[in-house]
Amino acid sequence: MDTQSDLQSDFIVIKAKEQGVQVIGLTRGQDTRFHHTEKLDKNEVLIAQFTNHTSAIKIRGKAYVMTKHGTVHTDE
């Protein structure tokens, strides 16, 4: 993290409700592409950040997603 703006980016917390939840980071720019993938086991937690390179995060599987806007359950 080089700048103050990096420290103030939005974070999200993802907690897996089952084995094998996939978290996929998508790039910014003209072509949206996958740039990072993580696989979470049940009850594992990942803290992710939107950056200059990450414009979207895709989640496959049952998980809690906690943001400053509230909590979402992916299976509802």
Task: Give the number of domains in the chain.
Answer: 1
Give the Å distances, CA to CA, from 14 to 1, 30, 34, 67, 71: 21, 27, 18, 9, 10
Domain containing 30: what range?
Answer: 4-73
**What average pLDDT does this structure show over 9-19?**
91
Q: Percentage of residues in the chain with pLDDT exceeding 70? A: 87
65, 48 contact by CB (below 8 A): no
For the entire predicted model, the pTM comes to 0.78
The pLDDT of residue 1 is 44
Given strand 11-16, what is the order of strands in its sheet? 45-49, 11-16, 63-67, 70-73
- What confidence category does residue 33 fall into, taking pLDDT thresholds of 50, 70 and 90? confident
CATH number for the domain spanning 53: value is 2.60.40.50
List the alpha helices (DSSP H) in the chain.
4-7
